């Protein structure tokens, strides 16, 4: 709700209230009495979407404008701000609508009637795509991504904090780049359990529905009709789904479901949460669990200080006192005001838990991932951590893989078979790997082995099973073997060699033995090197 001075609300709900209106086009205000004849001010959210809205606010305006003023001050490219106000002790307090752009107009010079339609800057988010955003160096926070969108469409970012704004994005969200920035805003709003709009200060704002406190009470004195729908019992499940493949990851509170029945919030194909649904699902549930309200439609006196998605308290005879949300609004000004507000979210959603996976049993399910950034589709079927298959499809290749892991007493082995299908060839491959790591005991490692050797209580033995040469390094010495027979031993007693070949020279006590060639003749020289 817009910040209002003391006494504003009381004055708004008086029978004899005095309502005023004015319009600013660019820097010029048309504030003379009778200048603003009428205005229809509205916004509407999509039906049955509790979060993920990015709404536009619009206005249809009729004014009395002299030809002189029209020529001097009317500018179709300028921002338009419509103000409604109420007199408090003889002083009018005006509340602005967000700045808007004129989409069409008509001016009758003879009658001085100017009519025009306008829409707020959310429409700019439809004019740009994700590809129009500047390159970002990941990781970036959600709020940084949000700021980049604000900068692109030419609006400031609201200083209001919101849930998940500090979440770090390690990689670009799952867009192919052609999506509008309005679509991106809706994706951010979903992961933040929020809805998005241009506030009365002209800033883009995320409003988390789970953080909303009631901003006021509508009693029977202020409305003519209230039509309430079926109560939305406390939210008790969050389902993050890839559709149409029916790939579901969910978190739920079984106790609340048994108590109240199923009341989930379902989010489909969210590009910001797609790569880590297992983390987001339980976190969202913790935040929104227990949220309850009534869908309804109210015809009443109106309060133009309210903002989109404000939480309201409603007092009725039949339903008692309940909460609702301002999801849609239509204000008519013609010297006074009347208003119709709606909460058009019945949350009539279900989750196919049989097709989905909890966080605990995620390993045993099938999923299809569409990576729009890499232009790749991956289909994974996983029984457990030992057995899985997948299909990876890109524009130029289809890869089919089947992998099985199994354990023996001494190793973990893996078999991977794959077929790569390309436009000009088909490649079949089979890979087998082995990782050996034997009994790690509480008091230490008794044996470590791989295909090259072992390290056990006997020492370090290097040599494959089919090698003709091997070595053993232990606390008694170094032993070199050929075909299983010792050919060299190095112990505390010295060295023992079965065969010795010296290529150039050697020393035996005080003798130096060396080979030489003298006048083309090969010789062996023995020199005394003692005293």
pLDDT confidence tier of residue 437, bands split at 50, 70 and 90: very low
Fold topology of 375-436: 2.20.130
Residues 414/405, Cβ–Cβ less than 8 Å: yes
Distance separating alpha carbons of residues 296 and 344, to the nearest angstrom: 7
Distance separating alpha carbons of residues 112 and 119, to the nearest angstrom: 23
pLDDT at 189 exceeding the cut of 50: yes
| Domain positions in the chain | 375-436, 440-497
pTM, two decimals, is 0.68
Residue pLDDT, tens place only, 111-155: 999 999 999 999 999 999 999 999 999 999 999 999 999 999 999
At 440 the pLDDT is 42
Contacts of 66 (CB under 8 A, 6+ apart): 112
Sign, Cα dihedral of 88, 15, 302, 32:
negative
pLDDT at 8 exceeding the cut of 70: yes
Among candidate residues 236, 140, 123, the one with its CA nearest the CA of residue 180: 123
Sheet of 311-315, strands arranged across: 214-218, 311-315, 321-325
Mean pLDDT value of segment 78-90: 91
Residue pLDDT, tens place only, 256-269: 999 988 889 999 99
One-character DSSP codes across 153-182: HT-EEPS---TTTT-EESS--S--S-SBHH
352 or 457, greater pLDDT = 457
Residue pLDDT, tens place only, 379-407: 666 555 556 666 777 767 777 667 766 55
């Amino acid at each position: 709700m817009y910040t209002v001075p003391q006494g504003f609300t009381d004055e708004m709900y008086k029978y004899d209230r005095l309502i005023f209106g004015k319009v600013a086009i660019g820097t010029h205000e048309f504030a003379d009495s009778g200048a603003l004849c009428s205005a229809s001010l509205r916004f509407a959210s999509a039906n049955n979407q509790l979060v993920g809205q990015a709404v536009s606010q619009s206005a249809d305006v009729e004014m009395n404008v002299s030809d002189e003023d029209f020529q001097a001050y009317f500018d179709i490219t300028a921002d338009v701000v419509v103000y409604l106000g109420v007199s408090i002790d003889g002083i009018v307090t005006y509340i602005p609508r967000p700045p808007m752009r004129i989409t069409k107009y008509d001016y009758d010079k003879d009658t001085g009637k100017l009519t025009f339609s306008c829409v707020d800057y959310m429409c700019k988010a439809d004019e740009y795509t994700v590809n129009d955003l500047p390159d970002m160096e990941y990781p970036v926070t959600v709020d940084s991504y949000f700021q980049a969108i604000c900068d692109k469409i030419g609006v400031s970012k609201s200083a209001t904090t919101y849930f998940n704004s500090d979440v770090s994005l390690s990689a670009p969200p799952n867009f192919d780049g052609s999506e509008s920035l309005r679509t991106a805003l809706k994706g951010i709003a979903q992961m933040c359990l929020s809805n998005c709009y241009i506030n009365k200060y002209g800033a883009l704002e995320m409003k988390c529905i789970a953080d909303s406190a009631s901003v006021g009470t509508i009693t029977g004195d202020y409305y003519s009709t209230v039509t309430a729908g079926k109560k939305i019992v406390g939210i008790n499940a969050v389902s993050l789904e890839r559709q149409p493949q029916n790939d579901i990851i969910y978190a739920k509170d079984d106790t609340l479901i048994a108590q109240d029945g199923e009341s989930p919030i379902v989010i489909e194909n969210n590009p910001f949460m797609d790569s880590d649904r297992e983390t987001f699902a339980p976190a969202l549930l913790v935040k929104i669990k227990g949220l309850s309200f009534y869908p309804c439609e109210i015809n009443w006196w109106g309060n133009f200080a309210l903002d989109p998605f404000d939480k309201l308290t409603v007092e009725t005879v039949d339903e008692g006192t309940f909460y609702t949300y301002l999801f849609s609004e239509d204000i008519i000004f013609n010297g006074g005001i009347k208003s119709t507000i709606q909460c058009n979210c019945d949350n009539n959603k279900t989750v196919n838990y049989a097709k989905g996976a909890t966080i605990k049993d995620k390993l045993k399910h099938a999923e299809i991932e569409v990576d729009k950034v890499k232009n790749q589709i991956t289909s994974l079927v996983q029984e457990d951590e030992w057995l899985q298959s997948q299909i990876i499809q890109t524009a130029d290749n289809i890869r089919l893989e089947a992998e099985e892991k199994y354990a023996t007493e001494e190793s973990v082995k893996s078999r991977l078979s794959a077929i790569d299908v390309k436009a000009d060839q088909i490649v079949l491959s089979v890979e087998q790997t082995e990782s050996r790591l034997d009994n790690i005991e509480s008091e230490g490692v008794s044996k470590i082995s791989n295909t090259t050797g072992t390290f056990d209580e006997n020492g370090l033995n290097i040599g494959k099973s089919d090698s003709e040469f091997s070595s053993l390094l232990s606390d008694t010495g170094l032993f070199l073997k050929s075909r299983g027979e010792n050919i060299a031993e190095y112990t505390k007693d010295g060295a023992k060699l079965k065969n010795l070949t010296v290529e150039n020279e050697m020393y035996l006590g005080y003798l130096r033995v060396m080979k030489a060639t003298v006048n083309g003749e090969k010789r062996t020289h023995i020199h005394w090197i003692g005293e």
